[in-house]
């Protein structure tokens, strides 16, 4: 059997050949889908998937054109409507919602104390962090996806915007069936192909899934201990540093420059203290030389945070600052903490299309160099602040409607 690294090399080689031959120009119509799926059979067999398993899973398979983020005119919406990218911090980080989720998390923390203690010893990841991801990803196991994972992954591999990545994930989904890990009927996913109560991709199951309950095989569909251990192993594998906070909420000095809030400008903790930043709980961190970047998710309209390695480890689970803030804060609340010390102001945020138009204008002005995605992420907010500073405007790094009109008129 070919090892994982060799399989990835095979995927890359096949894809390179396809690109060179012009065969990866993208499907023109749904009629191309069966041929595309059939073309993956040799790669599936190289991964250990039998012809019988492949045929049973794919015979009669049709593309799901309702999925978001399909490319080349295949239909379906974009994921720009996800709450992580459209809600304001005040909306997404609702104190009421997080408080309710924290109550359920504390109940699990108490009922699974021996298992969570074992997870903490083995992986170095705090139990509340693991529970918070479990809560956010699948509602503590109650929401495991409604899509047919095989169909979803095949469609994304055929016409999605990240076809190369999904090509491998589709093959690993078939491997799950081949290995008897999960039944075809139970192999449900999110629209993006994430599976089980941990909402991992199929390849991540093989990389990170852990059997903690002694059943012999990791089960992220029915076993809560296995799911929690698998999440912890995932975080450890992404570089989680035991004993370090996910972030520190800080009170920023009056008139702080929001354009300092960049992950590319980390400083020693002692430097942030010297600049007037103060941790809200008064404890701070043990090492004054530990390096942190500043995050101001809503500019001056909400709390500020010093973020280090563990913040970005959480972001590897879901590439959204609001997601990380939700999970991190939920973990703090599960552990007994309270609400954010600084409240979120009810700011407004324009539509994804308006934000995308703003990004294009800022890019044309040489101020913004990231993706045109209609999302008010960290780099977009920093570009807004840079524009405001360059034009002598009040600097708040927040893309409200008035700011968008000013940018458009430039």
178 pLDDT higher than 90: yes
Q: Which helix (H) or strand (E) holds 305?
A: strand 304-307
Neighbours of 100 (CB within 10 A): 12
pLDDT of amino acid 3? 37
Mean pLDDT calculated for residue range 296-302: 91
28 pLDDT higher than 50: no
384 pLDDT higher than 80: yes
Mean pLDDT calculated for residue range 144-171: 96
Collapsed DSSP state (helix, strand, coil) of residue 229: helix
Check: CB of residue 395 under 8 Å from CB of residue 258. yes
CA 340, 341, 345, 348 dihedral sign is negative
Check: CB of residue 264 under 8 Å from CB of residue 295. no
pLDDT of amino acid 286? 65
pLDDT of amino acid 307? 96
Domain ranges of the chain: 4-63+145-195, 352-409
299 pLDDT higher than 80: yes
398 pLDDT higher than 60: yes
For β-strands 267-268 and 278-279, DSSP reports them as unpaired
Residues 6 or more apart whose CB falls under 8 angstroms from that of 269 comprise 284, 285, 287, 288, 289, 290, 291, 292, 306
Compute the distance between CA of residue 373 and CA of residue 352 in angstroms, rounded to an integer: 8
Check: CB of residue 2 under 8 Å from CB of residue 47. yes
pLDDT of amino acid 8? 37
pLDDT of amino acid 5? 38
98 pLDDT higher than 90: yes
11 pLDDT higher than 60: no
Tell me yes or no: is domain 4-63+145-195 CATH 1.10.8.
yes
Strand-pair partners of 148: 188
Domain 4-63+145-195 and domain 352-409, same fold? Reply is no
CA-based nearest residue to 344, from 87, 100, 137: 87
pLDDT of amino acid 83? 62
14 pLDDT higher than 50: no
- For the residues of 41-110, what is the DSSP string, one character each? HHHHHHTT--HHHHHHHHTT----TTSTTB-TT-----GGGSHHHHS-HHHHT-HHHHHHHHHHHHHHHH
Collapsed DSSP state (helix, strand, coil) of residue 318: coil
CA-based nearest residue to 329, from 246, 236, 216: 246
Compute the distance between CA of residue 246 and CA of residue 280 in angstroms, rounded to an integer: 15
* Higher pLDDT pick, 353 / 26: 353
Confidence of residue 24 (pLDDT cuts 50, 70, 90): very low
- List pLDDT tens digits, range 32-63: 999 999 999 999 999 999 999 999 999 999 99
Confidence of residue 282 (pLDDT cuts 50, 70, 90): confident
Confidence of residue 84 (pLDDT cuts 50, 70, 90): low
Check: CB of residue 406 under 8 Å from CB of residue 389. no
Compute the distance between CA of residue 113 and CA of residue 117 in angstroms, rounded to an integer: 6
For β-strands 188-189 and 147-148, DSSP reports them as antiparallel
Q: What is the residue-averaged pLDDT of the chain?
A: 89
Report field, pTM of the whole predicted structure over 0.85: yes
78 pLDDT higher than 80: no
381 pLDDT higher than 50: yes
pLDDT of amino acid 4? 38
Strands, E assignment, 193-297? 247-251, 267-268, 278-279, 291-295
Confidence of residue 88 (pLDDT cuts 50, 70, 90): confident
Give the Å distances, CA to CA, from 325 to 42, 185, 187, 261, 350: 43, 34, 30, 15, 21
Confidence of residue 72 (pLDDT cuts 50, 70, 90): low
Mean pLDDT calculated for residue range 98-124: 97
pLDDT of amino acid 249? 95
How many Cα atoms occupy the beta-carbon half-sphere of 249 within 13 Å? Answer: 17
Confidence of residue 126 (pLDDT cuts 50, 70, 90): very high
- For the residues of 145-200, what is the DSSP string, one character each? -SEEHHHHHHHHHHHBTTHHHHHHHHHHHHHHHHTTSS-TTT-EE-TT--BTTTTB
Cβ density class 331-365: b for 16+ within 10 Å, e for less:
bbbbbeeeebebebeebebbebebbbbbbebbeee
Check: CB of residue 208 under 8 Å from CB of residue 230. yes
Q: Which two tokens stand for residue 288?
A: 């004054």
27 pLDDT higher than 70: no
pLDDT of amino acid 346? 84
pLDDT of amino acid 289? 78
pLDDT of amino acid 16? 41
Neighbours of 311 (CB within 10 A): 23
* Fold classification of 352-409 (topology level): Muramoyl-pentapeptide Carboxypeptidase; domain 1 (1.10.101)
Percent of the chain with pLDDT over 90: 76
């Amino acid at each position: 059997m070919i090892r994982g690294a060799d399989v990835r090399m095979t995927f890359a080689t096949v894809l390179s050949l396809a690109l060179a031959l012009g065969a990866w120009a993208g499907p023109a119509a749904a009629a191309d889908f069966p041929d595309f799926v059939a073309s993956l059979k040799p790669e599936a067999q190289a991964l250990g998937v039998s012809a019988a398993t492949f045929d049973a899973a794919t015979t009669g398979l049709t593309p799901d054109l309702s999925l978001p983020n399909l490319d080349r005119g295949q239909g379906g919406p974009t994921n720009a409507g996800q709450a992580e990218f459209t809600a304001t911090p005040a909306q997404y980080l609702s104190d009421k919602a997080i408080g309710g989720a924290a109550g359920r998390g504390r109940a699990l923390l108490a009922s699974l104390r021996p298992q969570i203690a074992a997870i903490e010893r083995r992986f170095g990841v705090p139990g509340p962090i693991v529970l918070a991801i479990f809560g956010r990803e699948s509602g503590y196991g109650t929401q495991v996806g409604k899509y047919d994972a095989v169909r979803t992954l095949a469609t994304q591999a055929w016409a999605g915007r990240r076809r190369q990545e999904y090509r491998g994930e589709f093959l690993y989904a078939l491997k799950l069936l081949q290995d008897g890990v999960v039944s075809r009927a139970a192999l449900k996913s999110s629209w993006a192909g994430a599976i089980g109560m941990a909402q991992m991709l199929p390849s991540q199951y093989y990389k990170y899934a852990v059997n903690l309950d002694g059943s012999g095989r990791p089960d992220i569909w029915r076993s809560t201990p296995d799911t929690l251990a698998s999440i912890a192993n995932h975080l450890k594998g992404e570089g989680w540093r035991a004993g370090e906070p996910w972030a520190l909420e800080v009170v920023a000095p009056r008139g702080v420059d929001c354009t300092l809030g960049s992950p590319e400008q980390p400083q020693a903790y002692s430097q942030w203290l010297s600049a007037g930043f103060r941790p809200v709980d008064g404890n701070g961190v043990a090492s004054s030389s530990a390096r942190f970047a500043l995050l101001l998710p809503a500019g001056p309209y909400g709390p500020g945070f010093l973020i280090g390695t563990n913040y970005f480890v959480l972001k590897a689970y879901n590439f959204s600052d609001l997601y990380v803030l939700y999970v991190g804060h939920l973990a703090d609340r599960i552990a007994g903490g309270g609400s954010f010390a600084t409240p979120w102001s009810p700011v407004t945020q324009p539509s994804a299309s308006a934000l995308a138009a703003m990004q294009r204008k800022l890019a044309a002005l040489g101020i913004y160099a990231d993706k045109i995605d209609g999302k008010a992420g960290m780099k977009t907010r920093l570009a807004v602040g840079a524009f405001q500073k360059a034009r002598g405007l009040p600097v708040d790094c927040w893309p409200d409607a008035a700011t968008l009109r000013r940018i458009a008129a430039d």
